[in-house]
Amino acid sequence: MSTERKAMKQGGKKFYSLIVIAIVLFVVAFSLSVNVPPQQLEQYSFNGGDLSVTPSVLYIHNFLWYSPSAFASVTLKSVQSVVQVSVTEVNSTHLSVFNRTFHNVSYFSFYFGLHPNKTFQTENFFVTIGSQIITVSIAVKSSPLPLIGEFSLLSSFILFLTGVYLAPFKSRLWIIPIAVSFLVLSAFLGHRFDMFFMITGGFHILSGANPFIQSHNIPGELKWTYPPYYLIWSVIADWLSGAITHTAIPTSHSLIFPGLSFNYYEAWLAFVPRSLPVYYLLAKLPMVVSVLAIYYILLKKFNLPYNLTKIWLLSPFVMLIGVIWGQLDIIASVFLLLSVFYFQKGRSDLAVLASVLGFWIKIFPIFIFPLILIESKNRIRDLGIAVLSSLPALFIYLYTGNFVKDLETLVYSRSTNTFNGVFNAQGLTWQIIVSKLGIVHFPSIFLFTFLPFLVIISIVYYFRRGNIVNYIIVEFMFFFLTYNFVDPQYFIVLIPLFLINRDLWNYVVFSVYPFLFILLTYSFTYFITPSLSLSYFTSFLGQQEALRTWITSSNLFILPLVTAFTLSAITTILMVVRKRKFRLVWRAIFAK
């Protein structure tokens, strides 16, 4: 046996061993995350309504000190204009742990702190609601299981990545177990709010409600703010899921959880059938297919080496966004890659079609559109294709009943992210530093700079041409530097472009940044389907994850990460310019 074959065989054994151990550890963590904790919901009635209290997420006071908390919800018999609520811990000092006034409510929720100092103890509180005083007892149990689950979870990630690195895949049939694994993961894991958002989009249309505007049936948190083409699949997937599981289509009004305005991440409390994995699977089917399709496009259309396409398909970040989370960006990435491919083949008609269809799913594929028109030899035809491929989207807006208002929702929500006119930032944008400083009025840099930048890029391309992929990369980098919401899923559209350029350095860099951001800021239990674990905070692992994510999502971790990302984006732009893939606009124009 040759030395090379022995090395492959040895690597294969290591791969299988590490993958098996990783799966076992992941199952341990998963089991702990859905484990029903010993803490039980306590319910009390008083003259004006009902109170329910249960131990919940770890409530953090300071960086080096924390305590568990209780989650309380109050349902009143009628709307009250003013409700004064206070919670007092029953001890020698009668410590006040919560005090707040609610206005014009019939339902409200709040957290208050617990202070356990024994292995098992009961916490007693006086909860005052208006003139009513209720005595509450909460059982709190300490356990080492959260730490075990946390260790198992993080270890499974490390071992899995190591095993994938050693994977000796050579057969073309290896794609089959990978695809089956993706389908299984997509059914049982998923971003809780985004999956609720995508599934209920189809429900709203099936029940006759307009999903694009806020109404008495659809709160602002649930209106559809993206382009409409995915909604077509949402309708089909919801109908199929209902037919397969014999689940009736809920009305839009029944999907509004009373506490949605308080915490829209708990929206699933309104609708959690046991057949939810079927809804998850069908809703995310286009995303899973897109992950596999990009693998095929890179391998067959762009003729990338096998190892490059393998690191796409087995990338933890790709699996997280495309399979587990299930984001529209992965579908948009397919259309962007097709547009690039047909552009390079001189088929501007198909490039325009792919770009515009992708735009009506998620806006990013439109970045290439102006460059296609510059290169096109038949601009009238290509503009006609753009219009025709947009007609179904416009019809959806007309069909739902308020064409102008629906388009206004899309333009406003995609162009500037603010909450009620107040500046806000999230994700990997440097503007999060501005937001952390408490500045509520800050100009939208994106609105004033991005369109002029696209014009400049188009002028540069008109005079210099060059590698189209580099132009798109620079457009994305400028977008990341100016937009105030740089969510981690956006990067899934960008990183295949680095593979096309054989740029492994930037592929790794811009995969690691968003993956790290998600790892630092999201609880693992938040990605488990609610039919298995309704409240992602109540399990042992959920409470430990809440503590970890509070610490890791603090400024101590996030601000350095954001700063490093910003510097990397600037560096990438400079690298592209220095390699003369295209030159500065004035040099390009006058060189002509």
Q: Where residue 93 sits, what CATH number does that domain have? A: 2.60.40
In a domain, 63, yes or no: yes
More confident residue, 155 or 362: 362
DSSP bridge pairs for 55: 70
More confident residue, 239 or 72: 239
Report how far residue 518's alpha carbon sits from residue 552's, in angstroms, rounded to the nearest whole number: 10
- Model pLDDT for residues 304-320, shown as the tens digit of each residue: 887 778 889 888 899 99
3 state DSSP class of 574: helix
Per-residue model confidence (pLDDT) at position 61: 43
For residue 39, which of 114, 102, 106, 103 has the smallest C-alpha distance? 114
In a domain, 447, yes or no: yes
**In which element (H, E) is residue 419 found?**
strand 418-419
- Model pLDDT for residues 529-587, shown as the tens digit of each residue: 888 887 777 677 777 787 788 788 888 899 999 999 999 999 999 888 776 443 433 34
Per-residue model confidence (pLDDT) at position 10: 54
Report how far residue 492's alpha carbon sits from residue 514's, in angstroms, rounded to the nearest whole number: 9
Per-residue model confidence (pLDDT) at position 262: 60
Last residue of one domain, picked from the residues 143, 167, 195? 143
Assign 360 a pLDDT band (cuts: 50, 70, 90): very high
Per-residue model confidence (pLDDT) at position 231: 94
What percent of the chain is modeled with pLDDT above 70?
86
Per-residue model confidence (pLDDT) at position 494: 93
Last residue of one domain, picked from the residues 143, 173, 197? 143
Assign 397 a pLDDT band (cuts: 50, 70, 90): confident
Per-residue model confidence (pLDDT) at position 121: 65
More confident residue, 208 or 564: 564
Q: Tell me which of 103-112, 341-350, 457-466, 573-582 is least confident.
A: 573-582
Q: 7 pLDDT exceeds 60?
A: no
Q: 18 pLDDT exceeds 70?
A: yes
Q: 425 pLDDT exceeds 70?
A: yes
- Model pLDDT for residues 430-454, shown as the tens digit of each residue: 999 998 888 888 888 898 899 999 9
In a domain, 525, yes or no: yes
Per-residue model confidence (pLDDT) at position 37: 53
Residues 126 and 88: beta-carbon distance below 8 Å: yes
Packed helices 491-500 and 504-521: angle between N→C axes, nearest 10 degrees: 160
Per-residue model confidence (pLDDT) at position 582: 38
Residues in CB range of 578: below 8 A, 6 or more apart: none
- Token digits of residue 175: 């794609």
DSSP bridge pairs for 137: 124
Per-residue model confidence (pLDDT) at position 420: 63
3 state DSSP class of 137: strand
In a domain, 461, yes or no: yes
Report how far residue 515's alpha carbon sits from residue 494's, in angstroms, rounded to the nearest whole number: 14
For residue 222, which of 248, 196, 241 has the smallest C-alpha distance? 196
**In which element (H, E) is residue 309 found?**
helix 306-313
In sequence order, what E strands does 295-400 have?
A: none
What is the pTM for the complete model shown?
Answer: 0.83
More confident residue, 507 or 465: 507
- Model pLDDT for residues 39-54, shown as the tens digit of each residue: 567 889 888 889 988 7
Which phi-psi region, left, alpha or beta, contains residue 72 (left: φ > 0; alpha: ψ -120 to 50)?
beta
Q: 136 pLDDT exceeds 60?
A: yes
DSSP readout, 177-211? Answer: HHHHHHHHHHHHB--HHHHHHHHHHHHHHHTT--T
Q: 281 pLDDT exceeds 50?
A: yes
Considering its fold, how many domains does the chain have in total? 2
Report how far residue 152's alpha carbon sits from residue 22's, in angstroms, rounded to the nearest whole number: 8
Per-residue model confidence (pLDDT) at position 295: 93
Last residue of one domain, picked from the residues 96, 115, 143? 143
Per-residue model confidence (pLDDT) at position 562: 95
Q: What is the mean pLDDT of the chain?
A: 83
In a domain, 399, yes or no: no
In sequence order, what E strands does 90-171 have?
A: 96-113, 120-129, 132-141
Which phi-psi region, left, alpha or beta, contains residue 425 (left: φ > 0; alpha: ψ -120 to 50)?
beta
pLDDT (mean) for 204-230: 86
Distances in whole angstroms, Cα of residue 420 to Cα of each of 378, 423, 453, 566? 44, 9, 28, 27
Per-residue model confidence (pLDDT) at position 223: 85
Per-residue model confidence (pLDDT) at position 63: 41
- Model pLDDT for residues 68-99, shown as the tens digit of each residue: 677 888 888 888 889 999 998 886 567 788 88
Per-residue 3-state assignment (H helix, E strand, C coil) for 46-85: ECCEEEEEEEEEEEEEECCEEEEEEEEEEEEEEEEEEEEE
Per-residue model confidence (pLDDT) at position 388: 96
More confident residue, 551 or 301: 301
What percent of the chain is modeled with pLDDT above 90?
37
More confident residue, 71 or 497: 497
Per-residue model confidence (pLDDT) at position 35: 67
Per-residue model confidence (pLDDT) at position 252: 82
Assign 34 a pLDDT band (cuts: 50, 70, 90): confident
Assign 59 a pLDDT band (cuts: 50, 70, 90): very low
Per-residue model confidence (pLDDT) at position 413: 74
Residue found by looking up tokens 């994995």 in the block: 277
Distances in whole angstroms, Cα of residue 207 to Cα of each of 173, 202, 231? 43, 9, 14
Per-residue model confidence (pLDDT) at position 110: 82
* Residues composing the chain: 592
Q: 57 pLDDT exceeds 60?
A: no
Domain span at residue 76?
Answer: 42-143
For residue 47, which of 132, 167, 150 has the smallest C-alpha distance? 132
